[in-house]
Amino acid sequence: MKKHFKCKDFSLTVFCEDTDFQGIVYHANYLKYFERARTQFLIDQDISQILLEASKLAFVVRDINLRFISPAKLEDKLIVRSSVQFISKARLLFSQQIIQLNNDTIICRGGVEVCFVDLIKNKPRSFPERLLKIF
């Protein structure tokens, strides 16, 4: 695997539903933004979670670490930057950060460990060969 594998940036706009009464993004929504970016990464690699689930396979989050740095606000334009820091046959460790587009302020940083599992056996399973080839 390459030392770091950078994923394509994921852009989003903060909407009313993402915020509290003062227009500040709820902390839980940063997890959603990270998830959307990782899902888009799979889509970009032509890996369908729907087809995986039909085969009783899935990506599951094993561990998350977050650091909140600066609040995002209503109508902010954000970028989620993601890279894969580590890969094994059944595990990926993503390093992700949310950045405010207009001034490059870091909003939130996180590390997310994702495992590939057999849903019937409820045990780790090797990634599809096409995903391993990407790295």
* pLDDT tens string 32-61: 999 999 999 999 988 899 999 999 999 999
- Residue 135: predicted pLDDT: 66
% of the chain at pLDDT higher than 70: 96
Q: Is the pLDDT of residue 25 over 70?
A: yes
Q: What is the mean pLDDT of residues 82-97?
A: 92
Distance CA 82, CA 87 (A): 14
Q: What is the mean pLDDT of residues 76-86?
A: 95
% of the chain at pLDDT higher than 90: 80
Dig out the tokens for 81 from the structure.
């930057």
Predicted TM-score (pTM) of the model is 0.90
Domains: count for the chain:
1
Token pair 């080839």: residue: 133
The residue from 9, 18, 20, 46 that is catalytic is 20
Q: What is the mean pLDDT of residues 77-83?
A: 97
Q: What is the mean pLDDT of residues 76-90?
A: 93
89 lies in which domain range? Answer: 5-134
CATH number of the domain within which 74 lies: 3.10.129.10
104 catalytic per annotation: no
Task: List Cβ<8 Å contacts ≥24 apart for 57-60.
Answer: 57/116, 57/117, 57/118, 57/119, 57/125, 58/116, 58/117, 58/119, 59/114, 59/115, 59/116, 59/117, 60/114, 60/115, 60/116, 60/117
- Residue 1: predicted pLDDT: 47
